[in-house]
A and B are shown apart, each in its own frame.
Chain A
Amino acid sequence: MTDCRRQWNREDELPIYLAKSISAGSNKRQKSHGMFSSVEGAYDTKTIDFDSYALGRKGNRAPRRCSTERMLDMEYFSEPAREPHKKRSDSVVTSPSGRPSVDVSYQSQREHSHCENNGKSERLLIKGGKVINDDHSFYADVYVEDGLIKQVGENLIVPGGVKVVDADGRMVIPGGIDVNTCLNKAYLGSPPVDDFYQGTKAALAGGTTMIIDHVTPQPGDSLLQAFELWQEAADRKCCCDYSLHMDVPQWHEGVRDEVEVLVQEKGINSFQVYMAYKDVYQMTDSQLYEVFVCLKALGAVVLVHAENGDLIAQEQKRILGLGITGPEGHPLSRPEELEAEAVFRAITIGNRANSPIYISRVMSKSAADTVSRARRKGSVIFGEPITASIATDGSHYWNKNWAKAAAYVTAPPLSPDPTTPEHLHSLLACGDLQVVGSGHCAYSTAQKAMGKDDFTLIPHGTNGVEERMAFVWDKTVATGKMDENKFVAVTSTNAAKIFNLYPRKGRIAVGSDADIVIWDPDKAKTITAKLQQSALEYNIFEGLECRGGPVLVVSQGRIVYEDGNLNVQQGTGRFIPRQPFPDVAYQRISIRNKMTCRQGVSRGVYDGPVYDVPATPKYITPAPSAKTSPTSHQPPPIRNLHQSNFSLSGAQVDDNVPRRSSHRIVAPPGGRSNITSLG
């Protein structure tokens, strides 16, 4: 620590607020116990140490060290479930002899980092950039080695032979995380044209260095098998790190066991349920409640596709009946109200089950408003608008060109209200919506044309993985709605926090993954399908101009994109498992769990007269997603089923005997004696 003291003493001569808050990181931090543990000391050099700023303590450096330790301690206490932390202290390398030792110790620690890919990761120094995290921005150099950020600060001591990138005052931001892609979701057996290779290539070209893809098993498929299928495809093709959401197409006991395995052994902590797609994926409210309770117990985040599938099915029938078969039938049959209604219902069920809810794809103003109202009432809920909903609107469904109109078909649909994007930007900026995904699911025009005579058969999905970051910048930062830190939050950090990737992802800090983007706020670009990485022949943002874009993208410590040139390699992407119980969602939930021990009232036993009631048989309410339409045959009427939703039995032996209309009042022999009966 002598070295540190010397440095601080020098700083003491400066005014407090000019003193560098970010020291050069003379204590090296090493991520030593598996890639899934959180990063030791990740907070140290970039968290403002308020103690050291305290005026009365100027020159007294002891508090700073204490605060550092305290922070580490807190980290331990807040994450008791993570075994590796306990051992990690052994490997924390302090630098007893000052800065020159940095180089040496890194070399010696090299075998600990097993996230290299074929030794291809580079040593990289990003010089002269402005590092932007979600909490603050500062000028610093970033040194990357072994796919990790090793040092952040000024005047770094780095080994020779390092590749130096001059950021030239531009922004250095954590790589984007796109939490909503479907790169392997087949429609009627045909996979999307952007598979894991094409899709992640496009992601990297747009500044996104990690995706979370949806595993979409069909009803009846095993979730575990689907997971392995997806993982296998992604491991072979992915160019950037990825993780997986699991879609739950139906709910029963077997699924519950699989979900448990996925959470506890496979590193999946988010599951999507559907309130739409009647008779295919749709779940009833009862099932949703059960799923929510189950996932809450496991510590997973529930993603909800929120649309009222019952009404959509009815409206589709009606619209087709009117002779409307083109893509305009899609938004007509899925009006905004149905989305808002389902969001409201999902939140209600989430509140009752006390489970965190994540609304994937917020496409309309009213759905967004519903989310923000619920947040105001304290619900643990997150909302995700997608690239398409923040950058364009649903007027295109009425395009005369069928192929263009069909390209916009996604569910929930884009709102035809042209003021929708602006509204969503505002809610993003004020924090009512938290994450921007892309909903990237690219089907070619030929695939879309499967529904050329019936809009209900058009596969759903739009592009957006490549354009996401740029549009968020263009629509919100460039217009002054949000600042650069908030930009980092909505494109990367918030997602990392909600899905428990933080601080490994979503932050530029010592020990975090070296997923870094150098962002040029002035780079202007016109979106066109001709210049894109995606394999789609039509881009729904065609012709839109946008400011802001990546000039250099570093993924896993490698430069994969530089000045318009991609240098990616299939299969380099790693699967990033995620732990359950993300703090940002579950701290509140677990406290509320403890609070909701409701107490019954202790009363004396009621001993007044009691009516004698005959038992009644039971009838089952048709589920909203029952395979039959309401016009079809109903079960034969059961007799005399009135008034109880808590029935005791099925058919009775005396069912053939007409019901008695007289009753007997049973009074206790001793008369009414207890206080609980009436006097």
Chain B
Amino acid sequence: DSFSNTKHKTSDKIIIKGGKIVNDDQSFYLFFLTIFLTSSNVYWLSRLSSTFRQIGENLIVPSGVKTMDAYGHIVIPGGIDVNTCLHAPHLGMNPADDFYHGTRAALAGGTTMIIDHVVPEPGVSLLTAYDQWRDVADKRSCCDYSLHMDITRWHEGMFEELETLIKDKGVNSFLTFMAYKDKYQSSDAQMYEIFGMLRDLGAIAQVHAENGDIIEEEQKRLLDLGITGPEGHVLSHSEEVETEAVYRAITIAKQANCPLYITKVMSKSAADVIAKARKKGLVVYGEPIAASLGTDGSHYWSQNWAEAAAFVMCPPLSPDPATPDYLNSMLSCGDLQVTASAHCTFSTAQKAVGKDNFTLIPEGTNGIEERMSIVWDKAVATGKMDENEFVAVTSTNAAKIFNLYPRKGRIAVGSDADLVIWSTKETKTFSSKTHTMTVEINIFEGMECRGFPVGVISQGRMVLEGGTLDVVEGLGRFVPRKAFPDYVYKRIKARSRMAEARGVPRGNYDGPVHDVISMTKSVPPTPTTRGPSCSGKTATGPARNLHQSGFTLSGTQMDDHIPRRTAQKIVAPPGGRSNITSLS
């Protein structure tokens, strides 16, 4: 068995009765008997039993099988949260919700799989960081997980590391940073190189899109103005700065012909840029998060420092109160595809590290538990999208983009038994007093949401039933993902074939060629004799002073202080102009 992390676990045989099964393409009712799940063997039997080829046919209930009533509810594929940071430390502080608490909260909210970001410290090898994350997550995670790799520093030999991760380690998505200057930020040239590698290896490029250069300048300016509170965070990370970086990332990805996934779409204009790029046919995906769909950035001006600081994340929530509504609409029409949580929580004491300087406040908000309910409440309950689209944006699209489909993201025979029984009518109020997470402040405090999970089945195990959470630490499996997801790469491959630029076949130019003489100090021009000018060496002589070319050969030269000579000579070939390529 290639999956060495398989562990023995207790399993249930569950029959779900009634309920409407909702996939991203269709919904259907089943009579009397709905789904029969077994999971005695973690890898094979946790899938929908293949004994029953057709879901929906009558079936004699074997004895000893647990039944679950789903009448009046819908049964949906478990949510997939593709953006969490449950282990990435900030200034040496570990997030308040680690893999155990985080995945527990995820399950409580109807999310049965997470994809966490591996954030290697710059300079640490990607493989080392990967092993570290695997180690922790295998021990602590309560639900299935997979990993994104963040590229925090360009270095030699990266291609080999990427290749190993993609081919042997089951990681097919990599995040680069356009922000965090002097720490994680990549230059445009580095991003182009990375994107080129990822395309060749069949992975997806993710970007954290904000212009780190401008942010740093603005931070300096605001601190100079004496603004040190959390409002400085949003003032220095303006919406434009996010939009600009999204635009640039898309341009680079277009040039490199690499699929691009924008994590954390927080503002209207950034979403618009993505939508426009998609209209032009680019392979780009956008991910709004629970916070940007559920609340706005007005809280940064809260009088309570602790509350204001709880909202600090990057890119920040937009102070424009119309943003959540707008992003929900974009999500509904398909211009944005995936919802995530970007769950990365720090306790108030941890946030308080930046009490005198907003740039030191650890960034991150909660959302892993609330995500599904927020999308339902803001988009489905308001009539912006239907239940099938709800399944698509919370689960199926993510599974397709990150190559988990149809194992995850679909209720079908043979898929993993990650199911949620979703109540569409009842409401629930978010509060830090009742939530499953450990963090003291919930940014959605007091929000009333329609739609929440009444039953959650993860790996064929009942983990939430009747309001009781029953999770087992370490039960989560690492789910490896293969390269070249079809959903993303079919188009990329076809374009790679089409994108061969072709030169123009011409005769050799044999007209006069300006002779560039290496510069010497105000010596009268010495005539140089040259052979036929088609020697091809004309322009390679002086490497210096190559203005007009973005392709320079060298830096400063030892004779830079000597003024340039302006005399030149035109060399004509002995036979005169004979070729059609010169001007007559």
Tell me the A residues contacting B by CB distance below 8 Å: 186-191, 216, 218, 220, 276-282, 284-286, 289-290, 308-317, 319-320, 322-326, 328-329, 332, 335, 337-338, 340-341, 344-345, 348-349, 351-352, 398-405, 411, 444-447, 449-454, 456-460, 537-538, 598, 600-601, 603-604, 606, 608-611, 613-614, 616, 618-624, 626-627, 629-631, 633-634, 636-647, 659-661, 663, 665, 675-678
Contact digits for B546-584, partner A, Cβ 8 Å, 1 yes 0 no: 111111100110001000111010100000000011110
Contact count band on B:
35 or more
Q: How far is it, in angstroms, between the C-alpha of A636 and the C-alpha of B156 when the chains are bound? A: 10
B214 lies within 8 A of A348 (CB): yes
B89 lies within 8 A of A678 (CB): no
B216 at the binding interface (Cβ < 8 Å): yes
Contact digits for B481-507, partner A, Cβ 8 Å, 1 yes 0 no: 000000000000000000011111011
- In the complex, which residues of chain A have a beta carbon less than 8 angstroms from the beta carbon of B524? none
Q: How far is it, in angstroms, between the C-alpha of A643 and the C-alpha of B582 when the chains are bound? A: 59
Considering only CB atoms, which chain A residue lies closest to B252 in the complex?
A: A311
For residues 89 through 123 of chain B, which have their beta carbon under 8 Å from a beta carbon of chain A?
89-94, 119, 121-123
A316-B550, A598-B225 given; A609·B513 CB < 8 A = no
A280-B547, A325-B503, A637-B122 given; A190·B229 CB < 8 A = no
- In the complex, which residues of chain A have a beta carbon less than 8 angstroms from the beta carbon of B503? 322-326, 328-329
Considering only CB atoms, which chain B residue lies closest to A675 in the complex?
A: B304
B430 at the binding interface (Cβ < 8 Å): no
Cβ contact of A314, chosen from B186, B193, B501, B507, cutoff 8 A:
B193
B251 lies within 8 A of A310 (CB): no
Considering only CB atoms, which chain A residue lies closest to B565 in the complex?
A: A189
- In the complex, which residues of chain A have a beta carbon less than 8 angstroms from the beta carbon of B193? 314, 630-631
- Give 7 CB contacts A-B under 8 Å: A186-B566, A188-B545, A189-B519, A399-B504, A604-B305, A610-B355, A630-B193
B121 lies within 8 A of A641 (CB): yes
- In the complex, which residues of chain B have a beta carbon less than 8 angstroms from the beta carbon of A630? 154, 187, 189-190, 193
Q: How far is it, in angstroms, between the C-alpha of A323 and the C-alpha of B503 when the chains are bound? A: 8
Extra pairs beyond A290-B217, A308-B251, A400-B504 (18, CB < 8 Å): A186-B566, A189-B564, A220-B556, A310-B192, A311-B251, A324-B502, A328-B503, A329-B503, A348-B240, A401-B580, A450-B539, A452-B509, A457-B546, A598-B225, A603-B229, A633-B156, A643-B183, A645-B215
Q: How far is it, in angstroms, between the C-alpha of A535 and the C-alpha of B345 when the chains are bound? A: 69
Cβ contact of B570, chosen from A446, A457, A663, cutoff 8 A:
A446
- In the complex, which residues of chain A have a beta carbon less than 8 angstroms from the beta carbon of B238? 352
- In the complex, which residues of chain A have a beta carbon less than 8 angstroms from the beta carbon of B580? 400-401
- In the complex, which residues of chain B have a beta carbon less than 8 angstroms from the beta carbon of A639? 121, 123
B546 lies within 8 A of A280 (CB): yes
Question: What's the nearest-Cβ distance from chain A to residue B446, in Å?
Answer: 15
Q: How far is it, in angstroms, between the C-alpha of A675 and the C-alpha of B306 when the chains are bound? A: 10
- In the complex, which residues of chain B have a beta carbon less than 8 angstroms from the beta carbon of A618? 182
A220-B560, A279-B552, A598-B225 given; A611·B547 CB < 8 A = no
Q: How far is it, in angstroms, between the C-alpha of A298 and the C-alpha of B430 when the chains are bound? A: 53
B211 at the binding interface (Cβ < 8 Å): yes
B240 lies within 8 A of A280 (CB): no
Residue from B232, B516, B539, B570 whose CB has the most chain A CB atoms within 10 Å = B539
B124 lies within 8 A of A286 (CB): no
A450 lies within 8 A of B547 (CB): no
Q: How far is it, in angstroms, between the C-alpha of A639 and the C-alpha of B152 when the chains are bound? A: 13
B235 lies within 8 A of A598 (CB): yes
B124 lies within 8 A of A629 (CB): no
- In the complex, which residues of chain A have a beta carbon less than 8 angstroms from the beta carbon of B179? 645
- In the complex, which residues of chain B have a beta carbon less than 8 angstroms from the beta carbon of A616? 91-92
Cβ contact of B514, chosen from A280, A320, A449, A640, cutoff 8 A:
A449
Contact digits for B522-562, partner A, Cβ 8 Å, 1 yes 0 no: 00000000000100101100100111111110011000100
Q: How far is it, in angstroms, between the C-alpha of A538 and the C-alpha of B570 when the chains are bound? A: 17
B231 at the binding interface (Cβ < 8 Å): yes
- In the complex, which residues of chain B have a beta carbon less than 8 angstroms from the beta carbon of A337? 251, 254-255
Residue from A446, A451, A660 whose CB has the most chain B CB atoms within 10 Å = A446
A457-B539, A621-B185 given; A646·B359 CB < 8 A = yes
- In the complex, which residues of chain B have a beta carbon less than 8 angstroms from the beta carbon of A187? 547-548
Contact segment of B52-60, B242-250, B331-339, B407-415: B242-250
Question: What's the nearest-Cβ distance from chain B to residue A5, in Å?
Answer: 58
- In the complex, which residues of chain A have a beta carbon less than 8 angstroms from the beta carbon of B551? 313, 316-317, 320, 456
Residue from B227, B240, B347 whose CB has the most chain A CB atoms within 10 Å = B240
B516 lies within 8 A of A450 (CB): yes
For residues 74 through 98 of chain B, which have their beta carbon under 8 Å from a beta carbon of chain A?
88-94
Tell me the B residues contacting A by CB distance below 8 Å: 88-94, 119, 121-124, 153-156, 179-183, 185-190, 192-193, 211-219, 222, 225-229, 231-232, 235, 238, 240-241, 243-244, 247-248, 251-252, 254-255, 301-306, 308, 347-350, 352-353, 355, 357, 359-360, 362, 440-441, 500-504, 506-509, 511-514, 516-517, 519, 533, 536, 538-539, 542, 545-552, 555-556, 560, 564-566, 568, 570, 580-583
Q: How far is it, in angstroms, between the C-alpha of A17 and the C-alpha of B168 when the chains are bound? A: 86
Chain A contact residues: helix, strand, loop or mixed: loop
Considering only CB atoms, which chain A residue lies closest to B556 in the complex?
A: A220
Considering only CB atoms, which chain A residue lies closest to B236 in the complex?
A: A352
A663-B92, A678-B306 given; A610·B352 CB < 8 A = yes
- In the complex, which residues of chain A have a beta carbon less than 8 angstroms from the beta carbon of B552? 278-280
B248 lies within 8 A of A341 (CB): yes
B183 lies within 8 A of A644 (CB): yes
A189 lies within 8 A of B506 (CB): no
Considering only CB atoms, which chain B residue lies closest to A316 in the complex?
A: B551
- In the complex, which residues of chain A have a beta carbon less than 8 angstroms from the beta carbon of B568? 189-190
A619 lies within 8 A of B188 (CB): no
A611 lies within 8 A of B349 (CB): yes
Q: How far is it, in angstroms, between the C-alpha of A188 and the C-alpha of B540 when the chains are bound? A: 11
Residue from A284, A337, A609, A614 whose CB has the most chain B CB atoms within 10 Å = A337
- In the complex, which residues of chain B have a beta carbon less than 8 angstroms from the beta carbon of A403? 509, 511, 581-583
Cβ contact of A352, chosen from B240, B302, B359, cutoff 8 A:
B240
A188 lies within 8 A of B155 (CB): no
Q: How far is it, in angstroms, between the C-alpha of A290 and the C-alpha of B514 when the chains are bound? A: 39
- In the complex, which residues of chain A have a beta carbon less than 8 angstroms from the beta carbon of B227? 598, 600
Q: How far is it, in angstroms, between the C-alpha of A609 and the C-alpha of B500 when the chains are bound? A: 60
- In the complex, which residues of chain A have a beta carbon less than 8 angstroms from the beta carbon of B186? 621
Question: What's the nearest-Cβ distance from chain A to residue B242, in Å?
Answer: 10
Considering only CB atoms, which chain B residue lies closest to A641 in the complex?
A: B122
Question: What's the nearest-Cβ distance from chain B to residue A413, in Å?
Answer: 12
Cβ contact of A286, chosen from B217, B362, B538, cutoff 8 A:
B217
- In the complex, which residues of chain A have a beta carbon less than 8 angstroms from the beta carbon of B190? 622, 630
Question: What's the nearest-Cβ distance from chain B to residue A397, in Å?
Answer: 8
A187-B547, A619-B182 given; A314·B189 CB < 8 A = yes
B189 lies within 8 A of A322 (CB): no
Q: How far is it, in angstroms, between the C-alpha of A631 and the C-alpha of B511 when the chains are bound? A: 38
Considering only CB atoms, which chain A residue lies closest to B124 in the complex?
A: A637
Q: How far is it, in angstroms, between the C-alpha of A600 and the C-alpha of B223 when the chains are bound? A: 10
Cβ contact of A341, chosen from B251, B308, B570, cutoff 8 A:
B251
A311-B192, A335-B255, A624-B188 given; A277·B547 CB < 8 A = yes
A277 lies within 8 A of B549 (CB): yes
B513 lies within 8 A of A449 (CB): yes
Question: What's the nearest-Cβ distance from chain A to residue B326, in Å?
Answer: 16
Residue from B189, B216, B244 whose CB has the most chain A CB atoms within 10 Å = B189
- In the complex, which residues of chain B have a beta carbon less than 8 angstroms from the beta carbon of A447? 514
Q: How far is it, in angstroms, between the C-alpha of A542 and the C-alpha of B514 when the chains are bound? A: 23
Q: How far is it, in angstroms, between the C-alpha of A627 and the C-alpha of B549 when the chains are bound? A: 14
Q: How far is it, in angstroms, between the C-alpha of A85 and the C-alpha of B318 when the chains are bound? A: 48
A191-B566, A610-B353 given; A457·B183 CB < 8 A = no
Considering only CB atoms, which chain A residue lies closest to B581 in the complex?
A: A402
Considering only CB atoms, which chain B residue lies closest to A276 in the complex?
A: B550
Cβ contact of A600, chosen from B119, B192, B226, cutoff 8 A:
B226
Q: How far is it, in angstroms, between the C-alpha of A667 and the C-alpha of B214 when the chains are bound? A: 36
A537-B583, A613-B93 given; A600·B121 CB < 8 A = no
A601-B301, A606-B352, A614-B92 given; A621·B183 CB < 8 A = yes
